[in-house]
């Protein structure tokens, strides 16, 4: 980590001087600002933008007004169907399959779910110091960087936002914080009491009703307020604000009683008196409607500030005129949690956690200097494209090695020149996008590719391909993905499956593996690798693994090592009151460590890092069975300084 940071620091001086020279020779704006307003679980049909078939039930007046100043990308996609992977991809510019961050809550030893015969692959808990983020890129080009809201790309100190290029960070949930204890969503609302953490505003906002013709108040939201403060504090310099809202993620609730009443009236239902699940199908959950409109209110607050504030670096202009604003969501809408119906992505199929359209197609608006206003484009855009595009829009430079590793494409030509084609690094038009989600049951565990009008899926459990045609001759055809054309159009399957297999190979994408104990009737189980010896040398930190001969070949191997934050010293309890101080849980994660294999693949060695607390080996055989070695916890005595003896542990099979 230190090597990377020192290198970037030296490079910063060179790039800042270069940027100064460029700005003196250019008639363009002096370093435009960047804001990414990133919603959580907001579906493509949860805003008043597209309104296919049925109008959206949720009111989003600020988003609707913003669209008049922006380009609406109707084929805008998230990099993944879940939160963490999309955030890591947006920030790093790297495809989830490349970083391995393909699911949320990673950094654990792989294991099969109770009802599954397969083990999901290991995936990291988030970004590590060696990853290079858009915040680091802009910071080295003279930007002040701020993150407000949800992080969710690593919970260790070395993974936090300030270690990933952000000067400022505020990550509370704000008004999204759910009710606790005796409070629930029908009795816990914000008030005008001055001691109320969520005190209602004096200012009035949408909706304007007969009961409230001047509008209603909104609860104080730390996320919104900190975003506004960051803009005010940093307007003297170019700034990058990554505003990652917690809304409209679960828990589904609202602290705004008037807004909840508004949606109950709009949906034709009584105000709830009991905290019970909302089970009406479609867009009929008043709590969720209130959350969407609150998110919209937050965007409106940010836009209003930009419109009212002079840009001190660009005299005669407001910040709204000198700021590129990107509005989108981390994945498609969550339609249901347990028995509660949250929303409805129709006509798109499925939702969050699925690579079908409902899980990855997201609302996407982009505005800013020299961008066309009120345009709608159907060009394929992935949030991976933000990184290289922002670099171009801000005339920012980064080391060539980092730039060449980016998986997204620069689409500034579409934004600035009103073109309809995104071009790859060879100047050829983009043909496709792809997603990778090797988790869950048969309905989820798949990879997908969108190529022109078609979308192909490969299911990792069954091995089957499914083909849908979303559009035909520029018009909607089977956006619902109802009809499988795999048998009718084998040539299309052949072409797209080859592309998809190449992506999986080129990115070395992790796939689900077989759990040996759940395939007892298969003959191959008898030949899975058996670990006979497992040695750890405490002095050299070397681990040696030996396998039995005559078993199936191992084609993949790696070690998992547990690391953790340093434990803080806790205060002693009060002797008089006998009150004990609770120890705070130390955050930890497992990281991958490379393994060296002998030519006959019967012997394996790896080095355990000094900071490790536990280690073990993972082996995958040629039949895709996963074999996990014993995981050994290191004691305080097993350090290079205190112990020089060799520890031998025999693996019992």
Residue with tokens 């989003």: 60
The CATH number of domain 517-566+581-649, selected from 3.30.1660.40, 1.20.58.340, 2.60.40.10, 3.90.1150.10: 2.60.40.10
What tens digit of pLDDT does each residue of 333-349 get?
999 999 999 999 999 99
Residue with tokens 């030996």: 546
What tens digit of pLDDT does each residue of 296-336 get?
999 999 999 999 999 999 999 999 999 999 999 999 999 99
Quick one: average pLDDT of 583-602? 93
Which residue blocks in 567-629 are alpha helix, DSSP H? Answer: none
pLDDT at residue 624 above 70? yes
Residue 617, classed as helix, strand or coil, is strand
Q: Extract the tokens encoding 526.
A: 């008898």
Residue 522: predicted pLDDT: 85
The chain-wide mean pLDDT, for the chain, equals: 92
Q: What is the DSSP letter of 509?
A: -
**Residue 10 — very low, low, confident or very high, per pLDDT cuts 50/70/90?**
low
Q: Out of 254-263, 522-531, 572-581, pick the least confident.
A: 572-581
What tens digit of pLDDT does each residue of 269-279 get?
999 999 999 99
What tens digit of pLDDT does each residue of 50-107 get?
889 999 999 999 999 999 999 999 999 999 999 999 999 999 999 999 999 999 999 9
Phi and psi angles of residue 320, each rounded to the nearest 5 degrees, phi first:
-60, -30
> What's the CA gap between 583 and 621, in Å, rounded?
42
Distance of CA 98 to the CA centre of its chain: 14
Residue 88: predicted pLDDT: 98
Residue 29: predicted pLDDT: 66
**Residue 582 — very low, low, confident or very high, per pLDDT cuts 50/70/90?**
low
Look up the CATH number of domain 434-512.
Answer: 3.30.1120.10
Q: Out of 287-291, 605-609, 631-635, pick the least confident.
A: 631-635
More confident residue, 20 or 256: 256
**Residue 568 — very low, low, confident or very high, per pLDDT cuts 50/70/90?**
confident
Quick one: average pLDDT of 255-274? 98
**Residue 8 — very low, low, confident or very high, per pLDDT cuts 50/70/90?**
low
CA distances from 94 to 84, 105, 134, 238, 246 (A): 13, 18, 11, 25, 23
Domain limits, the chain: 2-109+127-422, 434-512, 517-566+581-649
Q: What percent of the chain lies above the pLDDT cut of 70? A: 91
- Picking from 406, 394, 399, 405, the residue whose alpha carbon sits closest to that of residue 9 is 399
Indicate if 517-566+581-649 has the same CATH topology as 2-109+127-422.
Answer: no
Residue 20: predicted pLDDT: 39
Residue 22: predicted pLDDT: 39
pLDDT at residue 578 above 70? no
Q: What percent of the chain lies above the pLDDT cut of 90? A: 87
Q: What is the DSSP letter of 472?
A: E
Q: Is residue 193 within 8 Å of residue 199, measured between CB atoms?
A: yes
Residues in the chain: 653
Residue 11: predicted pLDDT: 54
The CATH number of domain 2-109+127-422, selected from 3.40.720.10, 3.60.10.10, 3.30.365.10, 3.10.450.50: 3.40.720.10
Name the helix (H) or strand (E) containing 168.
strand 168-170
What tens digit of pLDDT does each residue of 109-132 get?
999 998 899 999 999 999 999 999
What tens digit of pLDDT does each residue of 422-443 get?
999 899 999 999 999 999 999 9
pTM: 0.93
What tens digit of pLDDT does each residue of 395-410 get?
999 999 999 999 999 9
Q: Out of 146-160, 310-324, 454-468, 627-641, pick the least confident.
A: 627-641
Q: Is residue 269 within 8 Å of residue 345, measured between CB atoms?
A: no
């Amino acid at each position: 980590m230190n090597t990377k940071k020192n290198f970037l620091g030296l490079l910063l001086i060179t790039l800042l001087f270069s940027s100064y020279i460029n700005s003196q020779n250019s008639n363009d704006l002096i370093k435009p600002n960047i804001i990414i307003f990133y919603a959580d679980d907001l579906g493509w049909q949860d805003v008043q933008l597209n309104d296919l078939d049925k109008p959206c039930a949720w009111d989003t007046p600020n988003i609707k007004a913003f669209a008049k100043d922006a380009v609406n990308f109707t084929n805008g996609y998230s990099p993944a169907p879940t939160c963490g992977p999309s955030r890591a991809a947006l920030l790093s510019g790297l495809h989830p399959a490349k970083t391995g961050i393909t699911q949320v809550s990673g950094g654990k030893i792989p294991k099969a779910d109770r009802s599954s015969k397969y083990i999901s692959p290991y995936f990291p808990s988030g970004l590590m110091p060696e990853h290079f983020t858009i915040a680091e890129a802009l910071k080295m080009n003279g930007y002040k960087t701020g993150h407000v809201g949800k992080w969710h790309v690593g919970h260790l100190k070395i993974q936090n936002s300030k270690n990933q290029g952000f000067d400022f960070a505020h990550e509370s949930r704000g008004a999204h914080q759910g009710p606790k204890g005796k409070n629930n969503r029908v009795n816990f609302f914000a008030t005008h009491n001055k001691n109320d953490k969520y005190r209602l505003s004096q200012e009035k906002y949408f909706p304007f009703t007969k009961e409230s013709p001047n509008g209603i108040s909104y609860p104080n939201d730390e996320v919104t307020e900190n975003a506004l403060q960051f803009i005010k504090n940093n307007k003297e310099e170019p700034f990058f604000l990554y505003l990652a809202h917690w809304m409209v993620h679960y828990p589904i609730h609202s602290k705004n009683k008037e807004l909840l009443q508004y949606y109950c009236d709009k949906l034709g239902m009584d105000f709830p008196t009991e905290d019970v699940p909302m089970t009406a199908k479609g867009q009929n959950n008043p709590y969720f409607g209130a959350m969407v409109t609150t998110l919209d209110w937050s965007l409106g607050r940010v836009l209003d500030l930009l419109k009212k504030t002079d840009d001190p670096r660009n005299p005669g202009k407001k910040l709204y005129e000198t700021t590129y604003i990107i509005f989108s969501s981390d994945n498609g809408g969550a339609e249901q949690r347990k028995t509660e119906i949250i929303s409805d992505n129709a006509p798109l199929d499925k939702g969050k956690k699925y690579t079908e359209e409902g899980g990855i197609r997201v609302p996407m608006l982009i505005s800013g200097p020299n961008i066309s206003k009120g345009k709608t484009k159907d060009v394929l855009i992935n949030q991976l494209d933000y990184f290289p595009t922002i670099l171009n829009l801000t005339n920012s430079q980064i080391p060539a090695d980092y730039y060449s590793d980016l998986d997204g494409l620069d689409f500034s030509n579409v934004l600035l020149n009103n073109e309809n084609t995104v071009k790859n690094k060879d100047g050829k038009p983009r043909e496709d996008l792809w997603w990778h989600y090797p988790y869950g049951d048969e309905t989820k565990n798949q990879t997908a590719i969108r190529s022109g009008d078609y979308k192909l899926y490969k299911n990792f459990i069954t091995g089957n391909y499914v083909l849908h045609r979303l559009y035909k001759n520029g018009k909607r055809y089977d956006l619902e993905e109802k009809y499988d054309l795999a048998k009718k159009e084998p040539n299309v399957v052949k072409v797209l499956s080859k592309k998809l297999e190449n992506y999986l190979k080129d990115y070395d994408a992790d796939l689900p593996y077989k759990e040996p104990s759940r395939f007892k009737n298969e003959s191959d189980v008898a030949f899975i690798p058996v670990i006979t010896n497992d040695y750890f040398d405490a002095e050299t930190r070397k681990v040696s693994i030996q396998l039995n001969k005559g078993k199936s070949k191992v084609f993949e191997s790696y070690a998992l090592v547990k690391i953790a934050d340093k434990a803080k010293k806790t205060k002693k309890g009060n002797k008089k009151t006998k009150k004990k101080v609770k120890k705070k849980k130390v955050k930890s994660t497992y990281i991958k460590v490379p393994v060296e294999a002998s030519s006959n693949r019967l012997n394996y060695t790896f080095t355990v890092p000094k900071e490790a607390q536990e280690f073990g080996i993972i082996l995958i055989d040629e039949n895709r069975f996963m074999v996990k070695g014993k995981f050994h916890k290191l004691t305080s005595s097993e350090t290079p300084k205190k112990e020089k003896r060799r520890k031998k542990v025999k693996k019992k099979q």
